[in-house]
Amino acid sequence: MRYELIDLDPADGVAPSVRFTGNADARSFVRQKACNPSFHCSVDQGSFSEPAFASVEGSYGASSGFAAVSAAGLFAGGSFDTERATPGRPDNRYGSLARYRGAPQMPLFVLSARTGLRITGQYTLDAWALPWEDAPYSYRGGELARARIVFQSRHLAEPAPVLEVQAQTTWLSPPDAEHATGTVSVLLHNGLERTATVWGSFGVQATGIVPGVPEASSWALMLAGVGVVGATGRRCRRGRA
C-alpha cells in the first residue's frame, strides 16, 4: 500500500504534510448482529505505529473469528463448523473488521492546507461457497459469505469504489465462487486554506450469515507492506451424521 502527498495548489507556498493520527481498530464477533464485548466479541485498539489484534471463539469451538491491524497489513476472518454447532440456534452469523479509523477527538489524518493524500494498493478478492446438500429441512435457507474493502470519508475527492465479492448457496444450488483483482486508489483532500482534520476509515471486512446451524467462513486480507489488498470468503460443507 502506498501513501502519496499531492500539492493541490503549488503556488500557495505551503509544503504538503500529513500526520497519521487515527486508530488501528480490530474487532471480531460470532453468533450476533453486532460486536458486544460481553458476548462472543473481541475488540482491540492501536495506532498507525501500534498493532491491534482481536480474536474470539464461540461455544464448543463451533465458531471463531480474528482481526489484525499492523504495519504488515490488515487481516480479518471468521468461520462456523456444523460438526460442533448447537442445533436450532437462529443467530448464526459472524463478522470481522480490520481498519484504520478516526475516533472521538482523534481524526484519521491531519492535512496541511490545499493538500491531498492518495492511498493506492493492489487487491485480490475471492469468495466461494459449497452447498450443504443433506441439510435438514429447517436449515435449507440461503447461506452467504461476503468480503469487501471499505473506504468511508466525506473528504474523498470522488465516491468510494465498491470492492466486494460474495458467494451464496442453498442446499439445491451448485457451488459458488467469485474472484476480483486489480488496483484501488482513493484521494482524500483538504481544499481549505488552512490545516484540516480528515475523518473517516478504511480497511477490510468479512461477514457471513447462515440460517439454522451454520457452516460458513470468510476471510479478508490487506497487505500494506507489499501494496496488496485482498479478501476471500468461503463456505465449506463437512459431513454430519
Return the domain boundaries, the chain. 2-235
- 155-175 pLDDT, tens digit each: 999 998 889 999 888 778 888
Between 40 and 147, where is the model more confident? 147
What per-residue confidence (pLDDT) applies to 9? 93
Structure-model confidence comparison of residues 176 and 124, the more confident one: 176
pLDDT tens for 88-115 read 554 567 788 999 999 878 899 999 999 9
* Whether the predicted pLDDT of 211 surpasses 90: no
Q: What is the pLDDT of residue 218?
A: 46
Q: What is the mean pLDDT of residues 124-137?
A: 72
Please give the pLDDT value at position 11: 92
Mean pLDDT within 135-151:
76
pLDDT at 80 > cutoff 50: yes
The pTM assigned to this predicted structure is 0.80
- Please, are residues 24 and 51 in contact by the beta-carbon 8 Å criterion? yes
Percentage of the chain lying above the pLDDT 90 cut: 34
| pLDDT bucket at 230, cuts 50 / 70 / 90 | very low
Percent of the chain with pLDDT over 70: 71
What's the whole-number mean pLDDT along residues 66-85? 75
- Cβ contacts of residue 105 below 8 Å, gap of 6+? none
**Residue 37: predicted pLDDT:** 62
